[in-house]
Copies of this chain bind each other. A is one copy, B any other.
């Protein structure tokens, strides 16, 4: 296995660029860090271009088979590629999967959700709940952001996640569209449970966009019985997804 020693190596410089959303989009690739996530990426059947590791023994046979190339790297390079405080020294460069909205029957739509932990958790929960996919608006945090990947615990690799405008999705989607809002809305437990649904969750501070609420078939709220002002959007998403899974 070839050893890369220089942090100035062109390949390394290009991989480090994948830390920014702009360059991920340009390359149509993203960077996965840490043993567990690299393993999940490999298992998921994603196209893995490159695996890099400080310790070549960490690269399993399965990882070698699933990837086009493997390199040993120095700890200095591992630090350059890392976005965590204590790097495990193993990385994978993956090609972004291409998905179509096509036949999806159960979806969540994320309208400008900002916190990477919230987005990762919602993708993980949508995967657990057996939904068909997650659609994100333009203003939602990039799902290939390192923190989203970690919070999703690998579910970004399993579940189709697509970026699309709400109006686009609404046009193609035949199921029931549920907005979420604290005003002019119905208690979620009082809504009929349809076979096909899309639950729209909104920005942490501002909630779901007014135009989306107006276009939704029905708007729902999760009741607040105590003194808390609101629920965390990831928790709210979990309550609704599991409720409508019937």
Contact = CB atoms under 8 A, between A and B. Distances in A.
Interface of A: 117, 121, 124-131, 151, 153-155, 158-159, 222, 224-232, 234-239, 242-243, 245
User: Within the oligomer, what is the number of copies of this chain?
Assistant: 2
A222 to B, nearest CB: 7
B121 A226 contact: no
A153 B226 contact: no
Given A159-B226, A226-B159, A232 B130 contact: no
Given A117-B117, A239-B242, A124 B234 contact: no
A226 B130 contact: yes
Contacts of A245: 225
A18 to B, nearest CB: 24
A158 B227 contact: yes
Contacts of A125: 228, 231-232, 235
A128 B159 contact: no
Contacts of A239: 238-239, 242
Contact of A155 (B117, B128, B227, B234): B227
17 contacts: A124-B235, A125-B232, A128-B224, A128-B225, A128-B228, A128-B230, A130-B226, A153-B229, A153-B230, A155-B226, A155-B228, A158-B227, A159-B227, A235-B235, A235-B237, A236-B238, A242-B243
Contacts of A117: 117
Contacts of A151: 232
Given A125-B232, A231-B238, 8 more contacts: A117-B117, A121-B234, A127-B227, A129-B225, A155-B226, A225-B245, A232-B234, A238-B239
A16 B244 CA distance: 47
A105 B232 CA distance: 24
A174 to B, nearest CB: 21
Given A158-B226, A159-B226, A232 B124 contact: yes
Nearest to A131: B226
A132 B226 CA distance: 9
A239 B234 CA distance: 11
A150 to B, nearest CB: 12
Contacts of A235: 121, 124-125, 234-235, 237-238
